[in-house]
Structure 1
């Protein structure tokens, strides 16, 4: 079911499907809820799947100059309230969605039952990376999204996916191209100022799954495994032959990992 929810002066789009314990799927940058299309039907067999478009992305409104991860986490808590979801959720975020996941734990831990972090990082941007995000923000505001897929697809997908699953690359390209440059710029600026959360990790007592594509060059397996080891009892799992977009590159393995974890971590 598709919902358009008005929260304050902002309208948000959310897709829900299925019944059961709530599973919140939070998309990466610069994408929308459609990045989860290949996994939602199978996950909805066991869960109430909640897949929103973050502020400014997809069909959601609410453009701001800077979109801090804290703001996006607060938006999600408000969305859960608007949907009258009171049961603790399994939070599942990819990349930027993972950055938001850390803030959900910090700011709204009472809403969480489990944490699933896909292809993301605990470290903050370096000074060089943060500056590059600022440059990229200005570029998309001036030139739109047309050049973004060419720059990002080789980083987001493994070479095997690009070669063997051209439909995945085409779908990802289409999702990127339809995003509003204002949302992309705001999110870049917000990610650039996000904190290093490494010191938070030992405090996380939630059942946690850290999932990574073996060919992910943005958040490499070694880096993700290292931060997973700092979370008490966290499970680390590597998906072979996938890059940064495991739910699109290998949806079956992603679904299997999520369902196995959520059924076991009760």
Structure 2
């Protein structure tokens, strides 16, 4: 996923202490999420990075929440993936830390697939990394999770925030991400179907699309405009039908059509609606026409003005095309009258 993001962003990945190439001695017993956040800031300082967008999974997501709360001047935007503002109390993590200090990580690695992925899915390399982590550093990370709880301060987070939940995640279920989304002003929540706790590994395209949209200002504005013009119900249906196969296309629509074209102030939205309806009639896209007749009403066109646009298409697109278009528009306008009644 980092290579794909790096086409538009400078991407810096960091390992938890004692994981991958990160030194185990960076933290010790009794470590906190704040300690880990401090390591991230030290890394950014060493690279000359003053302000950055941040995305983190699980404990990494908790680090992102801490950074956004305590160092908002350093974080331009935040994505919290399969994480939480709390991790179900201290006891389970204290017990896990004690177990790992006593027996190492081999036993936990054996159950990693069940904790991280949906049944039948596995990434052996990630499990091997888990098994090979330094036990003391891993236990210190458990200590950090045991002490972490930001629920009463979430409303203080002011940076643009995206929450990504794996719909089948037992460790940090969607309800945990929804709790953050409901508390952080302006936060957005995306649920990834068919994904458990390591959603970026299991559904990389879907997570990548969400991150691209969030970290691209045009895409974020594009989604806002798309909802304003087409309505929440339509956009929610489109999002719910999104799959790994269609994810890049949905991202393209949000970034290009809605984030660049529809946001261009040269033309008013009502003018864009007129042009769009004409183009749809010309190409016979009547299902799309129905959607954009509704959009035209949202953009301020009256039924009489919509009729005038369609009458114009009879001259330049042909009477049969206009005839079909009038039938579609009449049905949509009648449905809208019925909804208002």
Q: Pick the aligned partner of 1:66 from 21, 30, 51.
A: 30
Residues paired across the two proteins, number:
217
Q: Give, in angstroms, the shift of residue 124 of structure 1.
A: 5.1
* Deviation sequence 1:71-115 (CA, Å, 0-9, x none): 1101110110001112x2111111111111121123221111001
User: Residue in 2 aligned with 1:97?
Assistant: 60
Corresponding position of 1:53: 15
Shift of 1:117: 0.5
Do the aligned partners of residues 135 and 222 (structure 1) sit closer, same or farther apart at CA in structure 2, a change above 3 Å counting? closer
Secondary structure of 2:72's partner? Answer: helix
**Correspondences of 1:217-232 after superposition (within 5 Å):** 217-232=170-185
Aligned partners of 1:101 and 1:117 also within 8 Å = yes
Distance in 2 of aligned mates of 1:220 and 1:89: 27
For structure 1, the residue ranges without an aligned partner over 5 or more in a row are: 1-38
**Higher RCO (CA-CA < 8 Å; seq separation 6+):** 1
**3-state SS, counterpart of residue 10 of structure 2:** strand
Structure 2 stretches of 5 or more lacking a match?
A: 222-341
Match of 2:117 among 157, 168, 172: 157
TM-score when scaled to structure 1? 0.77
Do the aligned residues in 1 keep the contact of 2:84 with 2:172 (CA within 8 Å)? yes
More helix by share: 2
Who is 1:25 aligned against? none
Task: Indicate the structure (1 or 2) with the bigger Cα radius of gyration.
Answer: 2
Query: What is the aligned counterpart of 2:49 among 76, 79, 85?
Result: 85
* Structure-2 residue corresponding to 1:144: 104
SS of aligned partner of 1:71:
helix
Structure with greater proportional strand content: 1
Number of the residue aligned with 1:27 = none
2:204 to 211, 232, 251: 251
Query: Which residue of structure 1 aligns with residue 146 of structure 2?
Result: 192
TM-score, normalised to structure 2, is: 0.61
Check if 1:180 corresponds to 2:134. yes
